[in-house]
Amino acid sequence: MILTLHDYWSERGCVILQPYDMRMGAGTFHTATTLKALGPEPWNAAFVQPCRRPTDGRYGENPNRLQHYYQYQVILKPSPADLQELYLGSLAAIGIDFTRHDIRFVEDDWESPTLGAWGLGWEVWCDGMEVTQFTYFQQMGGFDCKPVAGELTYGLERLAMYIQNKDSVYDLAFNDVAPGSNVPAVTYGDVFLENERQMSKWNFEVADTDALFDLFKKATAECENCLANDVPIAAYEQAIEASHVFNLLQARGVISVAERQAYIGRVRDLAKGSCQKFIEMKTPEWEARFPGWTL
Amino acid sequence: MQTKAREDLARLLGAELEKAGLKGGEADTYATPRRLALILRDLPQATEAVSEELKGPPEGAPDAALDGFCRKAGLSRDQLTLRDVKGRNTWFAVIDKPGRATADVLAEAIPAVIRAFPWPKSMRWGDASFSTESLRWVRPLHGIVALLGEDVVPFEVAGVTSGAATLGHRFHHPGEITIGSAADYVEKLRACHVIVNQDERAATIALGAKMAAKQANLELVEDAGLLAENAGLTEFPVPLLGSFDSRLLAAPREILELTLKVNQKYFSVRDADGNMAPNFVCVANIDAADGGERIVAGNRKVAEARLSDAIFFWEQDLKVKLADQAKKLDRIVFHEKLGTVADKAQRIGKLARWLVEEGIVGAANTPFVPSEVEGRAAGGAQGFSTEPAPSKVEGLDTNGSGAVSREELADMAQQAGELCKADLVTQTVGEFPEVQGIIGYELAKAEGLPIEVAEAIRDHYKPAGQGDDVPTAPVSVAVALADKLDTIVGFIGAGMMPSGSKDPYALRRSAIGFIRLTIENDVRFSLKDAVIAALYFYLESVEFDIDRSIDSLLNIRDQLSFQEKLIRIAESLGMESVTLEAVAKELYRRSLREQPRISVRFDQDEQSFTNALQQILDFFADRLKVQQREAGVRHDLIDAVFALGGEDDLVRLLARVKALQVFVETDEGANLLAGYKRAANILKKEEWTPGGTNSDPEPAEAALIAALDEAEPRAEQAVADEDFEGAMAALASLRAPIDAFFESVTVNDADQTKRAARLDLLARMRDAVHRVADFSRIEG
C-alpha cells in the first residue's frame, strides 16, 4: 500500500521522503510539512510518518485505536485545483471501490494549537470511519501561508482494514505469503500488539512524571538557546520534543484543565518562535527569488 | 452554516439588485455539501429607463460656470437646452438613462456578492494564495453556473468563469452536465443523483430512517439536529440500518447514544419496550452497487470500536468509588502556585460548607422584592456573624420529616464539593470531556450517594455560558459558588489578574457565573466576607513549617464548628479580635515567612492581603457592570452605588441600582440630579469645608432645611429597610425646595456668615443624596 502511494505521488511530481527521526504526534510536525509550508517556494512531498499519541493507547484492546501508528503524509504547495480528484485517484490506486464504499468529505476546521496553525478542509470518511485528514493550511506558526499548501494525512492502518476487510487492526496481514510457501504469515498484531500493551502501560502508568516535567523544561530552555544562536531548525526540533513530552504528561493525567492551556501556549510560543526565526532568515532569499512576495 | 449561507445569498443578492433598481419575485435557495444555489423568479429583462433633468446657470452666466455645469452633467454645450424659469432663460441638461439589461446588472451583482460573502470561516487556496488578497471562500470555489432565462450571464471571479456546466454526484455521475435554465436545475441534478433541496433530503432521511428501523420492528429515536446534520452532509442520502454486538449495550444509554451521535452522527434505535436496541441508522451518500452491504459492515466496525471504547471506560470507572477517584486528583496540577485539583476539591468542600453554615445558601429562598419592607431584617445572612444561623432549612426534604437540618445540608455540600472534580480522572470523561459532571452524577447515583450530592456534582459547572441555566438546589448552588469563587480568588490572589484579551483561566466567565448564581437565586451575603473566606481556606492549606503550632491548629480534626475553630485559632495566636478577616490577615502575615507549596501570595508584604482583597472585589465590580450592561442597566449607576463603599451584597446593590435607574429617568430624578450637580459644582469651586455655620435663613433656605430634616431620616430608614424606591421618594421630596433655593437665594452673599451657612446647607444636601447614591458618578 505504501509502495503504491509512493508510486502514485511520485508520478505526480512529489519528492518521496523518509520519516522524521523524532517522536511526534502527527506527520504535520515533520519539518517537510511545517517549515516547508512557510514561504513562497513550491513544494511537493510524500512520506510515511510514525505517530505517537500517548492518550490514544488502549493496551492493545481496541480494534482500531493505537498509541503508535503510521500516517501517510502528502503536502502540495501551492494546493492544486484538482486536489480532491488527485486524492480520490490515490484511493482508487490502493483498491478502494467507490461504488461499494461510502466516501464522504465531511467539513472540518483543523487547528493545531501547539503549532499555531490552522486550516480548513475535510475529514474524509470511508463507511463512517475517518481515514484521511484533508487540509488547506491557512496559517503556520502564526504566519499566513502564501501560497496555501494542501495537506493529505492518510491513516494507513484504517485504510488497510477496509482494503483487507478486517475488523481489527491486529488481524491485518503484514506480509504477502505466496500460496504453498513455508514462510510464516505475519500480522500487524504479531509485530505491534506487545508494543501497544507495554507502551500503553508506560504512557498511562509508569512514565516518571518528574523526569517528564524536567524534560519539558529542558526542551524549552534549549529551544531558546537555539533561537538565540540562529538555528531555528534545531529550535523547532525542541518544540517537537516539548510537544511530545506534554502529550505524555497529559496521558499521565498530571496536567489540569486550567494548566493545560498554559502548557499548550508554551509549546506554541516555541513553535512560533522557531517559524519566525526561520522566516526572518529566509526572507531576503525568498523576496529576491519571488518578486512580489512579501511576508 | 448551510442555512445561514442560503439566507445570506438571498439577502445580499437582493440588496445588490435593489441598488441597481431591479426587483425579482420569489427566491428559492438550496445548499448541499458541494453547492450553494439561488433561483430568483420574475426578473424583468431590464431596469426601467429614467430621464433626469439638471438645472444649470442662467443664460449669459460666465463661461466658467457653464463649463462646470457641462462637466457635472457629462454633456457638451450644444446638448444643453434653454428653458424659461420665472421669466428667465436657464440652461438645462436632460440626461436620458436607458434601462440596463438585467444580464449586465447580474454580471456585476453576482461577483460582488461572492467577493463579500460573510462565511463564518473562509480560506484562500491555489496559486492565487501567493497573495493574502485573493478571494476567500468556504472551500475552494470550482465552478459557477449563472443563467438568466436560457442564457449564460458572463463574468469571472478569481479565475472562475461563469457558465452552464456543473457536476453531478461525485461517484454516481462524475462528468459534466449542462443546465438549460433555472427551471431544470433541480430536475437535471436529481437525474444525476443530486437532491439539491435540503428539505427534501431531510424528509428522505426522516422517512427512510424510520422505515429502516420499522422493518426490523424497531423504533427510531428521532433527533432534529441529527437530521439536519445528515441532510447537510449528503447529496444523495441513503439511510441504512446497521447493527452491533448486543454485548455492547452494557453502559448507561446516555453514554452509548452520545457515542453514536457525537462521534458517528448515527441515529439510535429502541425496541418495542423502549430499551436501546443493538442497532443504529447511518446515512450513506451513495446508492451502493451491493445494496449497502459493505457500507453497513464498515459502519458496524466503527460503531463497535467506538462503543467498546465507551464501555471499557465506563466499566473501569464503575469499579472505583468517587472518593477514591478524588484522591487521584492529587496528581493533577490545578496551577503550580495553587496546588493540585485535590487541594482545590478540599477547598471547595470547605467553602461550600461555610456558605451553608453561615446561612448564606440554604435559607428560605424567597424572591427579593425591594418594596416589601416587613420581614426583610430577618431574611438572608449578613456575612460573617457569630450568631448561629437558623438550624432548619425549608424547601428541602430528604427524610420525609419536611426539613433537612443545616448540619446535614452542610455535610452534603462539603461531600459534593470534595467529590465534584472526581470524575475528571475517570476514563469516560477522559474520552468524552463534554460529559464531565454527568459521569460524576451517574457514578454517585450508582454508588448510592444522596441525590442532592449527585446533582451538585453534575451541576457545579453551571452556568457554563450565557444561555446556560443556573442551578437552584441549595447543595448545587453552594458547590457551584464555591468552585468559581475559589478559582477567582486563587488566581487573582496569586497575581494573575486577567488583562485585555488575556484571560487564560477564564476568570471572567467564572465571575459572571458566580454573579448569575447569586442574583438569580437571590443569595444574600457580603461578597467581601465570602472572598475573605475563600482566601482563608487557601491559607488553611499552607503548610506552616516555621510556625508548627499553627499547622496543627489548622488541621484540627475535632467536631468543631467553623466558629469554634476560629476562636481557638484566634486565642492561640493571641488575637483580640475573632473576626474571620482578622484571623485570615494574621495567617497571611505569618505565611509570608514560609515557603508554602500553595500560596495566594499577592506580594511579599503584609499590606498585600488588603490589596489582593481590593483587586478581587474590583474585578467582581467590573464583571457586574459588564454583565448588567447587557441586561440594560446603566454602568454609571452601578458606579454611583459602588462609590458609596461598603455595599457588597450583590442582590441589594442591584436592587438599589435598579431603583436609582427608574428614579433618574423620571423628571423629578433628572431635576434633582441637575440641582445636585449645581450644588456640587459650587462646593467644588469654593473648595468648601462645612463648618456648621448658622444664620437667619430666608424662606427658601428654611424650606430646604425643613425638607432635609424630613427627608434625611426617611431616606436612611428606607435604605436600612432595603426599600430603595422609598429612599428615592425621600430624595424626590428635595427637588422642589432645591429648585426654589437656587431660584431665590444667592449663595455668594456679601455677608460671610450667610454665605457660609448657605454653603453648609448645600453640603448637607449633597451628603443627604450620597446616602442613597453618589450622584456625581451619574452621567447627564
pLDDT, tens digit (0-9, with 9 covering 90-100), for B715-769? 999 988 999 999 999 999 999 999 999 988 888 888 888 888 899 999 999 999 9
Work out the percent of chain B whose per-residue pLDDT is above 90.
55
* CA proximity to B206, closest of B225, B182, B180: B225
Asked whether the beta carbons of residue B331 and residue A252 sit closer than 8 angstroms, the reply is yes
Asked whether the beta carbons of residue A101 and residue B288 sit closer than 8 angstroms, the reply is yes
Q: Which residues of B touch A119 (CB under 8 A)?
A: 123
**pLDDT at B535 > cutoff 90:** yes
- B208, B238 contact by CB (below 8 A): yes
CA–CA dist B6, A213 (Å, integer) = 50
- B573, B586 contact by CB (below 8 A): yes
Query: In which element (H, E) is residue B177 found?
Result: strand B176-178
User: At which residue does the C-alpha cell 484504517 appear?
Assistant: A158
- Extract the C-alpha cell encoding A78: 501551492
Per DSSP, which regions of B386-475 are E strands?
Answer: 392-393, 404-405
Per residue in B66-120, pLDDT (tens digit) is: 888 888 888 888 888 888 888 888 999 988 888 899 999 999 999 999 999 999 8
Say yes or no: A187 contacts chain B, CB-CB below 8 A: no
Residues listed for chain A: 295
Q: Which residues of A touch B281 (CB under 8 A)?
A: none
Burial of B457 (0-12, 13-18, 19+ CB in 10 A): buried
Q: What is the pLDDT of residue A119?
A: 96
Give the one of B121, B332, B336 whose C-beta lies nearest to A253's C-beta.
B332
Asked whether the beta carbons of residue A65 and residue B328 sit closer than 8 angstroms, the reply is no
Q: What is the pLDDT of residue B745?
A: 87
Compute the CA torsion angle A7, A12, A15, A20 (nearest 10 deg): -70
Print the SS3 string covering B139-168.
CCCCCEECEECCEECCCEECCEEEECEEEC
10-residue mean pLDDT series, chain A (295 residues): 97 97 95 96 97 93 91 97 96 95 93 92 94 96 95 96 91 91 94 97 95 97 97 97 96 81 92 96 95 88
- CA angle in degrees (0–180, nearest 5) for B27-B28-B34: 135
Say yes or no: A12 contacts chain B, CB-CB below 8 A: no
3-state class (DSSP) for residue A57: coil
CA–CA dist B544, B464 (Å, integer) = 36
Would you give the distance in Å from CA A291 to the centre of its chain? 32
Q: What is the pLDDT of residue B498?
A: 93
CA–CA dist B563, B33 (Å, integer) = 65
Q: How many CB atoms within 10 Å of residue B767?
A: 12
Say yes or no: A210 contacts chain B, CB-CB below 8 A: no
Q: What are phi and psi of B558, to 5 degrees?
A: -65, 170
CA–CA dist B92, A147 (Å, integer) = 56
CA–CA dist A9, B724 (Å, integer) = 77
Candidates B3, B4, B32, B124: best to mutate against A (most CBs of A within 10 A) is: B124
Per residue in B342-400, pLDDT (tens digit) is: 999 999 999 999 999 999 998 554 333 333 333 333 333 333 333 444 444 444 444 44
Say yes or no: A128 contacts chain B, CB-CB below 8 A: yes
3-state class (DSSP) for residue B40: strand
Half-sphere exposure at residue A125, Cβ-oriented, CA atoms within 13 angstroms: 23
* CA proximity to A243, closest of A13, A22, A85, A41: A22
**pLDDT at B227 > cutoff 50:** yes
* CA proximity to A48, closest of A29, A71, A25, A67: A71
Say yes or no: A99 contacts chain B, CB-CB below 8 A: yes
Give the pLDDT band of residue B564 (cuts 50, 70, 90).
confident
- CA angle in degrees (0–180, nearest 5) for A13-A18-A21: 150
Handedness of CA B360, B361, B366, B369 (dihedral sign): positive
Would you give the distance in Å from CA A24 to the centre of its chain? 8
CA–CA dist A247, B539 (Å, integer) = 33
If you average pLDDT over every residue of chain B, what do you get?
88
Contacts of A67 (CB under 8 A, 6+ apart): A52, A53, A54, A55, A56, A57, A58, A196, A199, A200, A203
Q: Which residues of A touch B490 (CB under 8 A)?
A: none
Q: What is the pLDDT of residue B395?
A: 45
Print the SS3 string covering B43-78.
CCCECCCEEEEEEEEECCCCHHHHHHHHHHHCCCHH
pLDDT higher for B264 or B402? Answer: B264
Alpha helices in A96-142 (DSSP H): none
Q: Between chain A and chain B, how many beta carbons pairs sit less than 8 Å apart?
A: 157
Q: Which residues of A touch B288 (CB under 8 A)?
A: 99-102
Min Cα distance A181 → chain B (Å) is: 31
ipTM (interface predicted TM): 0.93
Min Cα distance A242 → chain B (Å) is: 18
Q: What is the pLDDT of residue B558?
A: 65
CA–CA dist A137, A115 (Å, integer) = 12
- CA angle in degrees (0–180, nearest 5) for B198-B204-B206: 100
Q: Which residues of B touch A120 (CB under 8 A)?
A: 121-123, 138-139
* CA proximity to A167, closest of B776, B665, B442, B299: B299
Beta bridge partners of A17: A47
Q: Per-residue pLDDT averaged across B404-422, rounded?
A: 94
Q: What is the pLDDT of residue A269?
A: 95
Q: Is the peptide bond before A54 cis (omega within 30 degrees of 0)?
A: no
Would you give the distance in Å from CA B97 to the centre of its chain? 52
Q: What is the pLDDT of residue A96?
A: 94
- B584, B530 contact by CB (below 8 A): no
- Extract the C-alpha cell encoding B215: 422493518
Q: What is the pLDDT of residue B122?
A: 93
Q: Per-residue pLDDT averaged across B38-50, rounded?
A: 90
Asked whether the beta carbons of residue A136 and residue B140 sit closer than 8 angstroms, the reply is yes
Would you give the distance in Å from CA B361 to the centre of its chain? 24
Q: What is the pLDDT of residue B363?
A: 58
Give the pLDDT band of residue B484 (cuts 50, 70, 90).
very high
